[in-house]
Chain A
């Protein structure tokens, strides 16, 4: 019993404290965005049609690298500022993968036997899934409207009219004169938003870390490896389930994937692509921004697309000749530090 508590505390604490500074950073950025970003600026800058907006969103991680924990906090405020929902979803899903630091750590972990092809596959599949999910979300959004998909806290104020890709045409919000505020008043507003968002999201991060720590006590890597040995099509969903349970940071997950020496590249890709998009702690954190209908859409899309793309990858691409020494190495190089926001 004591040993179980000891292991639980270590797993729980490591997940929580690793994410904590990035939640703080995200909350402060959220406070600044809420206070200083003009209400209609984003909507004016974004393309008016869905596809380019979603594609830009999916690639934003290259310019604004953020880890999956911090991104949720910031997204909530950007949605309020008129960022199209589909674009937000594609950035939120692809950002933690299509990210220079994550791609480099993937290369280090999977080099030399998979190397750059594995990096390209991870980025490509992740980007594809994020964009397709973004487009599906856009279609759902057009059908059911904002209120059915977003929590009130993420809905833009009435002056912004809409967060859909129908860019705000009305000049009302933009043309409203900004009331003069003192520096102290602005700092107060930023701090109030930051503390509110930090507390709101950290509650669910904590609950997610508790769930993940319990799950890690029940499921071991050996179980997954044994379950999936010689059954590659079972290995893919098994590795996807493991990614959801482990709640690993996207900068570190490639090293864990590489430690599954008997797994095919396709099952490793399933692990590496799904993990940054969906895990227990993220699922709980999503509930602070999205309503269940949107969460269900995201979960369905990411899981089904990861499964299908991994199976296709298994069918068409097997870069690993099973010769002696041909297995991917257990990593030894130091990791890149997790990416902060710019």
Chain B
């Protein structure tokens, strides 16, 4: 950690000569450190409090940021109190004509030479990048708007060609309400494919147009943070034209229709396809974002 040992040692404190630049630089650097770390901790707490983490982290990780912010504030407070006390002690020492010492060799622990923060401007240069997240928070970023449509479209990639679909026999039973993840997982499970194929299902996701009667249904899934977001995908095939004015790209919808699984050889996978637009109507309803 930073200390004032080396250059301080060269001063003569016995003749009433004021402490040199080494001591004032040291305190200034420590104050900057306390300020920046405290601000970072406070920002973490506020990010959690104002829900700014909701769009970038999964729920399980958000309390960790809060805890990290609080821990940082506590450590900063301890350091601030300690600095305050050492300033008083130094002043007293100075008044009595004895060498003041702050966190130096007599602390009884080792000081790494690389910790020595007397490189000109070093601490201030470090402050610049650390101000970026704080400034972003003040400017209201990140906000709830999420990734741009272009970014999401690039993550989705090109829709695979399905070709002509073969009809599957309808199965009786109540409409199954499937979570998007469950729908996606069932495509990889032969048993579930057999069980679900032909059933009427209800799934909520977002739309992306492929053609007038052919839409992708997707949901973005975050594992830890927004940087690892991946799209889970299914397909909607309609008997009738889907009005895009009513259902634009990225609109959240609940789809109700007959499920089948279509093999995509080049992707080595089965894709869930929901067929809609038969006698029961379009089978699409606008939904709240999930």
Chain A residues with CB under 8 Å of chain B are 3-4, 6-7, 9-11, 13-18, 20-25, 27-28, 31, 34-35, 39, 80, 112-113, 151-155, 157, 159, 178-181, 184-185, 187-196, 198-200, 202-203, 206-207, 210, 212-213, 216, 220-222, 225, 246-249, 251-253, 255-256, 259, 261-262, 320, 322, 324-335, 337-338, 340
Q: Are A9 and B136 in contact (CB under 8 A)?
A: yes
Q: B268-287, CB under 8 A of A: which get 1 and which 0?
A: 11100000000000000000
- Check A181–B230 contact: CB distance below 8 A: no
B113 contacts A by Cβ under 8 Å: yes
Which B-chain residue is minimally distant from A225 (CB atoms)?
B157
| A152 to B231 CA separation, bound complex (whole angstroms) | 46
Map CB proximity to A onto B107-148 as digits: 1 under 8 Å, 0 otherwise.
111101111010000000010011011001000011001111
Given contacts A28-B75, A184-B82, A324-B263, contact A332 B227 (CB under 8 A): no
Minimal beta-carbon separation of A97 from chain B (angstroms): 16
Q: How far is the CB of A186 from chain B (nearest CB, A)?
A: 9
B209 interfacial by beta-carbon distance below 8 Å: no
Q: Is the CB of A13 within 8 A of B228?
A: no
Residue of A nearest to B224 (CB): A252
Q: Which 7 A-B pairs have the closest CB atoms?
A: A21-B68, A153-B114, A332-B181, A152-B114, A179-B108, A14-B225, A3-B148
The answer to whether B224 touches A251 (Cβ under 8 A) is: yes
Interfacial chain A residues near B157, Cβ < 8 Å: 221-222, 225
The smallest beta-carbon distance between A214 and chain B, in angstroms, is 12
Contact with A along B222-251 (1 / 0, CB 8 A): 011111101111000000000000000000
- Say whether, besides A188-B103, A332-B181, A220 and B154 are in contact (CB < 8 Å): yes
* B-side contacts of A18, CB under 8 Å: 56-57, 61, 224-225, 227
Binding site for A on B (CB under 8 A): 1-2, 33-34, 36-37, 40, 44, 47, 53, 55-58, 60-61, 64-65, 67-69, 71-72, 75-76, 78-79, 82, 85-86, 103, 106-110, 112-115, 117, 126, 129-130, 132-133, 136, 141-142, 145-151, 154-155, 157-158, 179-182, 184-185, 187-190, 193, 221, 223-228, 230-233, 263, 265-270
Q: Is the CB of A17 within 8 A of B56?
A: yes
Indicate if the CB atoms of B71 and A28 lie closer than 8 Å. yes
Chain A interface, DSSP helix/strand/loop, else mixed? helix
Complex alpha-carbon distance, A337 and B61, angstroms = 7
Contact of B130 with A332 in the complex, beta carbons under 8 Å: no
Chain B residues, Cβ within 8 Å of A322: 268
What's the nearest-Cβ distance from chain A to residue B238, in Å?
24
A186 to B15 CA separation, bound complex (whole angstroms) = 32
**What are 25 A-B interface contacts by the 8 Å CB criterion?**
A6-B148, A13-B141, A13-B142, A21-B68, A22-B68, A157-B110, A187-B82, A188-B86, A189-B109, A192-B103, A202-B40, A248-B228, A255-B221, A259-B230, A262-B266, A262-B267, A324-B263, A324-B265, A325-B187, A325-B193, A325-B270, A327-B188, A332-B184, A335-B224, A337-B64
Whether A327 and B2, one on each chain, are in contact in the complex, defined by CB atoms closer than 8 angstroms, is no
Give the complex CA separation of A35 and B103 in angstroms: 13
A10 pairs with B1, CB closer than 8 A: no
- Rounded to whole angstroms, the CA-CA distance of A337 and B190 in the bound complex is 30
Q: How far is it, in angstroms, between the C-alpha of A27 and the C-alpha of B41 when the chains are bound?
A: 13
Question: Would you give the shortest CB distance from B191 to chain A, in whole angstroms?
Answer: 11
Whether A192 pairs with B1 at a CB distance below 8 angstroms is yes
Given known contacts A192-B103, A327-B188, is B155 in contact with A332 (CB within 8 Å)?
A: no
* With A14-B227, A337-B60 as contacts: A195 and B34 at CB distance below 8 Å: yes
Query: How many whole Å from B197's CB to the nearest CB in chain A?
Result: 12
The residue on A at minimum CB distance from B72 is A24
Name A335's contact: one of B136, B147, B182, B223 (CB within 8 Å): B223
B72 near A198: Cβ-Cβ < 8 Å: yes
The 8 Å CB contact of B225, one of A31, A112, A159, A252, is A252
Specify which chain A residues have a CB less than 8 angstroms from the CB of B146 in the assembled complex. Answer: 10
Contact indicator A25/B71 (Cβ below 8 Å): yes
Task: Please name all residues of chain B whose beta carbon is closer than 8 Å to the beta carbon of A340 when the two chains form the complex.
Answer: 64
Q: Is the CB of A181 within 8 A of B108?
A: yes
Supposing A155-B112, A195-B76 touch, asked if A3 and B142 sit within 8 A by C-beta, the answer is no
Residue ID in chain A nearest B44 by CB atoms:
A20
Chain A residues whose C-beta falls within 8 Å of the C-beta of B149 in the assembled complex: 3
**Chain B residues with CB under 8 A of A225:** 157
Q: Which residue of B lies closest to A153 (CB)?
A: B114
Query: For the complex, what is the distance from the CA of A312 to the CA of B78, rounded to whole Å?
Result: 54
Instruction: Report the bound CA distance from A4 to B147 in whole Å.
Output: 9
Bound Cα distance from A340 to B63, whole angstroms: 13
Report yes or no: B126 in contact with A203, Cβ–Cβ below 8 A. yes
Complex CA–CA separation, A255 to B222 (angstroms): 9
Q: How far is the CA of A191 from the CA of B75 in the complex (A)?
A: 5
Question: A334 CA to B181 CA in the complex, in Å?
Answer: 10
CB atoms of B225 and A329 under 8 A apart: no
Contact of A24 among B68, B108, B151, B227 (CB under 8 A): B68
Query: With a CB–CB cut-off of 8 A, which chain A residues contact B85?
Result: 184
A188-B228 contact given A20-B44, A198-B37, A338-B61, CB 8 Å threshold: no
- For A207, the chain B residues whose CB sits under 8 A away are 129
Pick from B64, B72, B126, B188: contact of A329, CB below 8 A: B188
Contact with A253, one of B60, B112, B228 (Cβ below 8 angstroms): B228
* In the complex, residue of chain B having the shortest beta-carbon distance to the beta carbon of A77: B112
Alpha-carbon distance between A32 and B273 when the two chains are bound, in angstroms: 56
A10-B147, A220-B155 given as contacts; is B75 within 8 A of A194 (CB)? Answer: yes
**Contact between B2 and A196 (Cβ–Cβ < 8 Å)?**
yes
With A14-B56, A202-B130 in contact, do A185 and B107 touch (Cβ < 8 Å)?
A: yes
CB distance from A331 to the nearest CB of B (A): 7
